[in-house]
Amino acid sequence: MATYKKSQALYALWRTLSNPALAGGAERPPGIFGRRFDKLVSVNVPLLPEERVGQAGQDNQFTADQVFLMAVALTIMDSGLGLGATGFFIYHARESLKARYRAIMENPPSPFPEYERDDKRVYLLFQNRDIQEFYPPIDSGKVEGWAGTGTPPLIVNPVYAVGLDGLKEKMNTYLQGGNYNHALVVELAKMASVLTYNLKHAPIAKRGRHK
């Protein structure tokens, strides 16, 4: 299985998720983006503690599906979730997301912005509840995967939808009444295809740059 260095993962994530017009067309990410990557690593995205090298002088390597986890994490952080909530969500969704990535890449959409006859889009939907008085009673000490202080986040009803028709079908039953009235929707397939293309073409930075 191919693995990638941190510099390659950063390059691919930046090229995939940033807007080239707003970023001035920069191929390499700014330092703050690298620090954001490190903060996600600190909450076990994309590597669990037992998956890290843990030895001086050795760098972690990342598989494509692990870099995909990082892309999903950055996307949902960009939508407004905090670092702890993002790490918590990825902790519980990691195996499902990795399996979905592998399924997408068996028949991926084009990584280029072009018309495609077949609808290969895959959507992730979930609800993030942020107002804690709406929460059910929660014993923080018994919530697996929550390492933060205070009440763990409440992220409910994560589902996948395949294609626009599948998204419409999910939404018909997903949004109900006053309580279930919103959803975060993230398209995964195109992102996975573009990310994988960028990973395969990512240069290896010389030591001392984006290690």
- The whole-number mean pLDDT for each consecutive block of 10 residues of the chain, a chain of 211 residues, reads 92 92 70 94 91 69 97 96 92 96 97 92 91 72 73 86 95 79 93 97 70 44
Q: At what angle do helices 6-17 and 189-200 cross, to 10 degrees?
A: 130
Prediction pTM value: 0.89
Query: What is the helix (H) or strand (E) element at residue 166, kind and residue range?
Result: helix 163-174
Would you state the pLDDT for residue 107? 96
Is 75 in a helix, a strand, or coil? helix
Q: Are 14 and 196 in contact (CB under 8 A)?
A: no
| Phi and psi, residue 72, nearest 5° | -65, -45
Would you state the pLDDT for residue 52? 84
Would you state the pLDDT for residue 210? 45
